Every structure is written in structure tokens, then in C-alpha cells.
Amino acid sequence: MLFLDNFDFDFKNENVLGIDETGVGDYFTPVISCAAFLPKEMIEW
């Protein structure tokens, strides 16, 4: 897994994976997470 400290790279030459979550730390809600994958072939779509 690659962790980036800065965003100094060309998105058009990379695949992008985004992950987000909600409910973390809330007592009455479950942890809900989702992920999105953007292949470099679809960046201009």
C-alpha cells in the first residue's frame, strides 16, 4: 500500500482509490464505509 504525504503527482497516469467511513466514535451508530475506484482510463469521463 502506498501512502502519500503530498499530492504532487499526475492523476492521469495513476489509478485512484478513495475510501471514506462514517460512524467512527459514535456510540449508537455502526461503522459504515465505502470505497470508490477510478481507473486511469476513465479520468476524463
Residue 3 lies in a domain: no
pLDDT over 90 for what percent of the chain? 0
Secondary element (H or E) of residue 19? strand 16-22
- Structural domain that includes position 37: 14-42
Q: For position 25, what pLDDT does the model report? A: 62
Residue 8 lies in a domain: no
Number of domains in the chain: 1
Q: For position 1, what pLDDT does the model report? A: 65
C-beta of residue 34 within 8 angstroms of C-beta of residue 13 = no
- pLDDT (average), residues 12-37: 73
Side-chain half-sphere CA neighbours of 11 within 13 A: 10
C-beta of residue 1 within 8 angstroms of C-beta of residue 25 = no
pTM metric for this prediction: 0.43
